[in-house]
Amino acid sequence: MLSASELLQELLKRARPLEKTETLPLSEAYNRVLAEGLTAYVSVPPLDNTAMDGYAVRSKDCREPDVRLKVTQRIAAGQVGKQLHRGEAARIFTGAPVPPGADAIVMQEDTSLDGEWVTVYKVPRPGDHIRRAGEDIQPGTSVLTPGTRMKAMHLGLAASVGRTQAKVFQQLRVAMFSTGDELAEPGKPLKPGQIYNSNRAMLHGLLTGLGVEIIDLGVVEDSREATVRVLQSAASKADVIVTTGGVSVGEEDHVKSAVEELGHIDIWKVAMKPGKPVVYGKIGETDFIGLPGNPVSAFITFCLFARPFLLKRIGAIQVLYRAYPVRAAFDWFKPGNRREFLRGLMVTGKDGAGEVRLYPNQSSGVLTSAVWADGLVDVEIGQTIIRGEWVRFIPFAELLN
Ligand code: AMP
Ligand code: MG
């Protein structure tokens, strides 16, 4: 049985980044992975401009408080001013270019206006409230590197240097299905012995977060023939297949043997809780990842293993999540023989510092725990924890972004 870190290593070793690219307008590039670096050809901001509403002045003219200057021009954002002479001030608004001759901005709040004359109460220093041309970005700077996943701020930055489109990797095609004769689709009445299919909606959400193309194949009954049939069709149209359930050792678990019939299994089982059965194999050129059926196990194994694998497949550079040390607000006296990932919630402790609490029911079928929590407490094999000790915490923000 592999350890959780070995499994991650083995999976990443096998993940080949996509190669095919396409060029998309920024409005369609959200969540896609940049296939080339992005260099700026302009300065941001393009000109020295004011960070405040107020008056552009020559600091030489205002060496003492209460100087009176003549207001000779008005510059709104989008306009360009003219030369500012001795004894003059320009009425100016946030974002407007600083006129030639001016070297400081006086905030409106530090002045009073009387007709054409403004009194400047405060002595400005040269450069006050001026945003310098190029202080954000200089021409020729690389602003985004290949392998960046385009989130809102990346789109904004690309637009800020005048780009309308981005060269990104084509979408990875991921086929998904759930297994289990006991599964009923939400919306239909539950027959005796049935349980609603939570994994389908959950996996769909997890995959949507990665910006891949989803091929949802629904539910497959617990039989070898049906599983082989669906796998075959999935392999013909997808780059990766992700399934839940049917990978344990029971007689009703057909996924592993079906994959072996069509291809091969390289990995199965990981020493962790929840999760144990996690399968990796290949059918032709298509990767296969089989997750356990218990909803919490499926959620956690997806986040910890399938997600980094898929991130590498879609061409992303940053594929690993970060964990942070936080204080435990609980005792843990059950040293386990598998690494354990507990659902935890960050709260503010009595002294005002952050600490993590545990959901009382850590069973792998209790999806409520994952909704309540905002991350996972990572407990090593054999580890016990006393309240107040530092533990490793993996925020969901690291796993779902
Ligand atoms: P399995 O891995 O197929 O042995 O399933 C383990 C447990 O998870 C069983 O109790 C199943 O009923 C449950 N389970 C499997 N798949 C789903 C699903 N899609 N939605 C909800 N529960 C599931
Ligand atoms: Mg099953």
Ligand 1, atom 20, residue with closest C-alpha: 197
Residue located nearest, by CA, to atom 10 of ligand 1: 294
In the structure, ligand 2 is a single-atom ion and the residues with CB under 5 Å from it are: 180, 245-246, 293
- Strands 286-291 and 279-283: what pairing? antiparallel
User: Ligand 1: which atom is nearest the Cα of residue 297?
Assistant: 8
CA of 72 to the centre of ligand 2 (A): 80
Peptide bond preceding 274: is omega within 30 degrees of 0, i.e. cis?
Answer: yes
Q: What pLDDT does residue 265 have?
A: 97
pLDDT, tens digit, for every residue of 284-309?
A: 999 999 999 999 999 999 999 999 99
Evaluate whether 230 touches 217 at the Cβ level (below 8 Å): yes
Q: Which ligand is nearest to the CA of 195?
A: 1
Are residues 15 and 312 in contact, defined by beta-carbon separation less than 8 angstroms?
Answer: yes
Distance between Cα 195 and ligand 1 center (Å)? 9
Give the per-residue pLDDT at 249: 87
* Lookup: tokens for 146: 């290949």
Q: Which atom of ligand 1 is nearest to the CA of 222?
A: 3
* CA–CA gap between residue 280 and residue 270 (Å, rounded): 11
pLDDT for 276 equals 87
- Read off the pLDDT of residues 312-364 as tens digits, 9 standing for 90 and up: 999 999 999 999 999 999 999 999 999 999 999 999 999 999 999 999 999 99
Average pLDDT over residues 5-14: 98
Share of the chain above pLDDT 90, in %: 98
Residue 293 CA, ligand 1 centroid: distance in Å: 4
Q: Which residue has the tokens 């297994």?
A: 179
Q: Ligand 1 atom 5: the closest Cα is on which residue? A: 293
Write out pLDDT tens, residues 229-285. Answer: 999 999 999 999 999 999 988 999 999 999 999 999 999 999 999 998 999 999 999
For the stretch 134-166, pLDDT in tens is 999 999 999 999 999 999 999 999 999 999 999
Indicate the top mutation candidate among 188, 190, 195 to test ligand 1's pocket, ranked by most ligand atoms within 8 A of CB: 195
Helix, strand, coil percentages in the chain from 3-state DSSP, rounded to 5: 25, 35, 45
pLDDT digits (tens, 9 = 90+) for 168-226: 999 999 999 999 999 999 999 999 999 999 999 999 999 999 999 999 999 999 999 99
Expressed in angstroms and rounded, the spacing between residue 186 Cα and the centre of ligand 1 is 15
Q: How far apart are the CA of 295 and the centre of ligand 1, in A?
A: 7
Q: Whose CA is nearest to atom 3 of ligand 1?
A: 245
Contact (Cβ atoms closer than 8 angstroms) between residue 398 and residue 322:
yes
**pLDDT band of 60, cuts 50, 70, 90:** very high
Output the ligand 1 site: residues, CB below 6 A: 178-180, 182-183, 195, 197-200, 244-246, 248, 292-295
- Quick one: which ligand is closest to 222's CA? 2
Find the DSSP H helices in 144-279: 152-160, 199-209, 224-237, 255-262
> Which atom of ligand 1 has the smallest separation from the CA of 219?
19
The ligand 1 atom at the shortest distance from the C-alpha of residue 178 is 19
**What letter does residue 304 receive in the DSSP assignment?**
I
Torsion sign (Cα): 356, 359, 360, 365:
negative
- Nearest protein Cα to ligand 1, atom 16: 293
Q: What is the signed CA dihedral for 135, 139, 145, 150, rounded to 10 degrees?
A: 70
Tally of CA atoms within 13 A in the half-sphere of 300 that contains its CB: 35
Instruction: Classify the C-alpha dihedral 80-86-88-93 as positive or negative.
Output: positive
pTM of the entire predicted model: 0.95
Rounded Cα distance between 318 and 309, Å, is: 11
Shortest-distance ligand to the CA of residue 197:
1
Residue among 185, 222, 294 to mutate when testing ligand 1 (max atoms within 8 A of CB): 294
How many other CB atoms are found less than 10 A from the CB of residue 329? 19
Report the candidate in 331, 325, 305 with the shortest Cα–Cα distance to residue 387. 331
